[in-house]
Amino acid sequence: MKESQYIWMDKEFVAWRDAKVHVLTHTLHYGNGVFEGTRAYQTPNGLAIFRLQDHTKRLLNSAKIAAIDVPYTQEELQNAQIELLCKNHFEGNVYLRPLIYLGYGAMGVYHKNSPVNVAIAAWEWGAYLGEEGLKKGIRVKTSSFVRNPVKSLFGKAKAVANYFNSQMAKYEAVSCGFEEALMLDDNGFVAEGSGECIFIVRNGELITPPNDNSLESITQATVIEIAKKMGITVCQRRISRDEIYISDECFFTGTAAEVTPIRELDFRVIGSGGRGEVTQRLQDAYFDVVMGKNSEFAHYLTYIS
């Protein structure tokens, strides 16, 4: 990880190496915390955060679902992210990680007696699944772990505890020689990757699963909006993994993953075995949007002065 100079912690800018918490921090033991992943891009008009308002709102929604009372407003958290980027003087593209966690002060499963703390980190970060992956696609394995079912955990919350499921799926996939995992839901239909939404292309139609038991993805919504403006037919419905095998194209989306082609699933080559035509069009269009090169989507960018 490329370290930056400061991390925002409860209204203070703390040196990166000094941003620490107590070993008895409640979230560390019991997993109740929520976070966001947001990107800022170096555009022709300077550094700009992509969909800052939407990501910050989802952060607060996650906290509400997790029954955490946040001591800051949405506007305060948005301003903190802007100030953090200004103070760190970044020269490349940036990833932001706001985290709401339960701090030191009480132990035991009941969480309401613990203080609520907020930290925001930011650092320069490139392609999550690799620059090569963006161009040529990645290899994916269907995980033996199913996506957390809605009758067990809250899928609409970007919660710390939810990602233990993702970690184990990713670990299994990488250990087997793949780059990423695909998780099914408890009914056997495709849910998502370990940290991404999935799309397939069949007969010119773009298809993605609904968010029945997964996070309401901001990047997924962006890609759907872009596709519709390009005249591509979009359908949100259940898909099975064997439908992915016989799809023409397939790709992951997410704040970290951006638009990453999938060239293979479970040793089955998808389409031509590389980045498909529709995928490349959407990928190019997506990067134009986040890089400030498409005026139709300029309202999604918050520029850092």
Question: Could you tell me which residues come within 8 angstroms of residue 110 by beta carbon, excluding any fewer than 6 positions away?
Answer: none
Report the greatest alpha carbon distance in the chain.
57
Catalytic site includes residue 158: yes
Beta-strand pair 234-236/205-208: parallel
Burial 9-33 (b: 16+ CB within 10 A, else e): beeebeeeeeeeeeeebbbbebbbb
Rounded Cα gap, residues 61 and 101, in angstroms = 14
Cross-strand partners of 236? 208
**What six digits make up the tokens of 51?**
């969909």
Rounded Cα gap, residues 74 and 179, in angstroms = 35
From 158, 170, 228, 293, the catalytic residue? 158
- The residues that are catalytic are 158
